[in-house]
Amino acid sequence: MTSLLRDEILKTSDVIVVKVGTNVLTDSRGLLNEGRIERFTNDLCRMIVQQRHIVLVSSGAVGAGMGRLGLAERPSELSQLQAVAAIGQGKLIETYERFLSCHGIHSAQILLTADDLSNRKRYLNARNTIRSILDYGALPIINENDTVSVDELHTTFGDNDRLASLVANLFERPLLILLTDVDGLYDRDPHDPEAQLIPVVENWSPDLMKMITEKHSNRSKGGMSSKLKAVKMITSSGGNVIIANGNYSETLSHLFAAEEVGTVFLVQNGFLAARKRWLGFAVRVEGRLILDTGAVDAVCRKGKSLLPIGIIDADGIFEKGGIVSMIDNTGKEIARGLTNYGLKDVLLIRGKKTSEIRTLLGTTSYAEVVHRDNLQLID
């Protein structure tokens, strides 16, 4: 039954996004494992020649740079980290190109920052470019632009699991395959002799986060928690996800043959329009609106717009048309949306009836602070 399910997922996915992590790409010394890269590149090429749309999100630039420079530990200084990434990125793409060329397939290197997908125009440009590359039968190879990404400027994805999920969300019915150094999701610590691999997760639950134990690597930033966050993003917006062990030489072959490898996470809520996916997951939040229980109920359960009367407080730096996060009184984010009012005006009209807006602001531009058409629930 599971094989039939996986076969159906493969057939109905318009794009397959494969993310491969640093620990899969490199050996214990931090050098690129070219034999492993060759094997899974061959698997990708077999799918491409079958007219399947494949996108590769590849970590490894920093790891490759560390290997080239003989570094034993990941640099902590930002400028050094960016330099190592720049040195390693050339080696990484050069290795992929060498193995792809054996199949007559071209590679297309794409380096992104979080702001590229937070900005609506650049988001659409990235999607259109990737689609055109796929139409040419080439393989887009995507990585975070580590040489310009800076945490303080809010341009970093944090890890390539999030980057892969944002890339997958560019498409309507994606399958995201996360290749890591564990076999999938276990029901407890994998080192426990009683631990069992979970082959299928039909419904997302916060309890899944309690099952994971993290191990730390000096060459990679992600972990199972970041992968489950990626799972939640994709399955809640129209796609399926598989987490599997990329250290095995035939993993991709088995996955593409719909065999029972790893853990598959099933789509939760059906198709979500592209603009809603961008609004809910790709944009950078500029401020917060804290809602009372009545507003939370109206927004979450009744599908209503957010009115000023339901806002307790607001913070951040945002103007009209900015992206705001809607928070309940426990601090939990429930939704994101485009605000019709800037922070200054929101603070004036919070807790007030719509009929009072004109008196307070001198005009009633909008009855709603966030209209339901410009709002996306997060949970």
Residue 245 belongs to what domain range?
Answer: 2-276
Domain shared by 252 and 359, yes or no = no
Q: Determine if the pTM surpasses 0.85.
A: no
Domain shared by 309 and 217, yes or no = no
Domain shared by 168 and 202, yes or no = yes
* Rg of the chain over all Cα atoms, to the nearest angstrom: 22
Q: Is 293 exposed, middle or buried (0-12, 13-18, 19+ CB in 10 A)?
A: exposed
330-360: pLDDT as tens digits:
999 999 999 999 999 999 999 999 889 989 9
* Contact in structure between 158 and 226 (CB atoms under 8 Å): yes
Q: Is 214 exposed, middle or buried (0-12, 13-18, 19+ CB in 10 A)?
A: exposed
Question: Averaged over 53-74, what is the pLDDT?
Answer: 86
Domain boundary (230, 251, 276) is at: 276
- The total number of residues shown for the chain amounts to 379
Nearest in space to 34 (alpha carbons), one of 102, 136, 81, 122: 102
Query: Which pLDDT value is given to residue 155?
Result: 46
295-316: pLDDT as tens digits:
999 999 999 999 999 999 999 9
CATH of the domain at 202: 3.40.1160.10
Domain shared by 259 and 345, yes or no = no
Domain shared by 14 and 93, yes or no = yes
Tokens of 29: 């010394």
Domain shared by 355 and 268, yes or no = no
**123 or 157: whose pLDDT is higher?**
123
Domain shared by 26 and 9, yes or no = yes
Domain count, the chain: 2
Domain shared by 217 and 72, yes or no = yes
Q: Is 40 exposed, middle or buried (0-12, 13-18, 19+ CB in 10 A)?
A: buried
> Residue 53: pLDDT above 90?
yes
Tokens of 266: 């099933």
Domain shared by 239 and 321, yes or no = no
121-150: pLDDT as tens digits:
888 889 999 999 999 999 999 988 766 655
Domain boundary (223, 254, 276) is at: 276
Domain shared by 66 and 168, yes or no = yes
Domain boundary (276, 308, 326) is at: 276
Domain shared by 212 and 305, yes or no = no
Q: At what angle do helices 78-101 and 34-48 cross, to 10 degrees?
A: 60
Query: Which pLDDT value is given to residue 273?
Result: 66
* Contact in structure between 131 and 163 (CB atoms under 8 Å): no
Q: How confident is the model at residue 177 (pLDDT cuts 50, 70, 90)?
A: very high
> Residue 321: pLDDT above 50?
yes
CATH of the domain at 337: 2.30.130.10
Tokens of 192: 């426990």
Domain shared by 127 and 180, yes or no = yes
